[in-house]
């Protein structure tokens, strides 16, 4: 986090729900010291049991 010098764009989609799971997409466009401009696209998948998140997975 300390190396992020600028956030150009960040966006999170509305959740998609299916059974005990939900997912959201996220796009982040950053300038990182030493790396330059970096765009990260990811899908975050969560499993829910008894109202609690019990598993999270991130796909890039």
Pairwise CA distance, residues 52 & 46, whole Å = 10
User: Which CATH number goes with the domain that contains 37?
Assistant: 3.10.450.50
- Per-residue model confidence as pLDDT tens digits over 15-36: 999 999 999 999 999 999 999 9
Number of domains in the chain: 1
Residue-number span of the structural domain to which 19 is assigned: 4-59
Q: Is the pTM of this model over 0.85?
A: no
- Per-residue model confidence as pLDDT tens digits over 35-50: 999 999 999 999 999 9
């Amino acid at each position: 986090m300390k190396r992020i010098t600028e956030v150009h764009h960040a966006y999170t989609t509305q959740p998609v729900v299916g059974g005990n799971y939900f997912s959201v997409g996220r796009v982040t466009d950053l300038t990182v010291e030493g790396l330059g401009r970096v765009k990260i696209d990811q899908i975050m998948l969560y499993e829910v049991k008894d109202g609690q998140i019990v598993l999270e997975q991130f796909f890039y």
